[in-house]
Amino acid sequence: MKYCDLHNHSVYSDGTYTPRELLEYAKEKGLLAIALTDHNCVDGADELEKYAKEIGIEAVVGSELTTEYKGKETHLLALFIDEGAREEMKEFFKERKRLKSQSNEQLAKALIKGGYEIDFEGMKKEYKSINRAHFSKELVKKGYVKDSNEAFATLLKEGNGFYVSCPRPGLLDTIEWVRSIGALPVLAHPLLSLESDEVEELLPLAKEKGLCGIECYYGLFTPEQVEYLCQLADKHGLIKSGGSDFHGSMKEGVDLGYANVPYSAYLKLRNEILKPSP
């Protein structure tokens, strides 16, 4: 069977591979297509496209957008972001990055005040951008937690630790905006942030706003969850997408291609983006 992986991160957000290294690794893994979906940025797009043909992998420029639905952090992938839309996308991210920077400063101060001696200045020098995954790595390195799962479940848990989120745009409005710039909105790993009844309530509303796909195939989902989401996708006429959410060494136990996403998912999304505008 042919496979793709439509959810991956690079050094431009919280991954440890460059876009070129991602492409080379995908080739090694036998994948036919990958998407680069760094958090709230498209900074790796040029590098991805520069090397994709040379390496022989079909590459999708995307981004993972942080949004909110019913007070919960919910992630949305924007896929097939063409060159003409990237400046508008960068403008969209400017305020988000400013707020995220403030949130990072607050988290660092709270951790240090709480007795956790993290090197925040060193983190800022080492990484192109910072989010909780980088704080998690620092906490593991210093021995305060055994792994990132423990960090996110305790010290970095929203509402129950030191982390306070910054304001997030609404999911439904963001879906509509992604469509307006000519990209494809795909709901990312819905069962990580939402309960099944919330997903079922959301999908018809999201479809009305322009949602075109949902991540059914995801490395952390059980076979039963995959089947359930595939049934929901069919019910609402959504493309069944998916990805490993690969971050390199930043995310333990998740390898590129881990989600076994059929290559047909890429082909269906590509056909959707190639449809003439109504």
CATH of the domain at 188: 3.20.20.140
- Residue 176 sits in the same domain as residue 140: no
Q: Are 196 and 223 in contact (CB under 8 A)?
A: no
* pTM of the predicted model as reported, rounded to 2 decimal places: 0.84
- Residue 117 sits in the same domain as residue 236: no
- Residue 41 sits in the same domain as residue 84: yes
Main-chain dihedrals φ then ψ at residue 151, nearest 5 degrees = -60, -45
Q: Are 108 and 122 in contact (CB under 8 A)?
A: no
Residue 161 located in a structural domain: no
Question: CA–CA separation, 82 vs 88, rounded Å?
Answer: 11
Structural domain boundaries, residue 137: 95-153
- Residue 29 sits in the same domain as residue 46: yes
The one-character DSSP state at 251 is S
Number of domains in the chain: 2
Please say which residue of 130, 153, 176 terminates a domain: 153
- Residue 124 sits in the same domain as residue 241: no
Question: CA–CA separation, 22 vs 27, rounded Å?
Answer: 9
Residues 96-116 have a mean pLDDT of 86
Residue 162 located in a structural domain: no
Residue 159 located in a structural domain: no
Please say which residue of 119, 153, 187 terminates a domain: 153
The model's confidence at residue 7, banded by pLDDT at 50, 70 and 90, is very high
Residues 131-146 have a mean pLDDT of 86
- Residue 134 sits in the same domain as residue 183: no
pLDDT at 277: 61
User: What are the tokens at 29?
Assistant: 């893994």
Nearest alpha carbon to residue 47 among 78, 14, 18: 18
- Residue 39 sits in the same domain as residue 82: yes
Q: Left (φ > 0), alpha (ψ -120 to 50) or beta: where does 75 sit?
A: beta
- Residue 75 sits in the same domain as residue 99: no
- Residue 26 sits in the same domain as residue 78: yes
pLDDT at 278: 55
- Residue 243 sits in the same domain as residue 172: yes
15-60 tens-digit pLDDT: 999 999 999 999 999 999 999 999 999 999 999 999 999 999 999 9
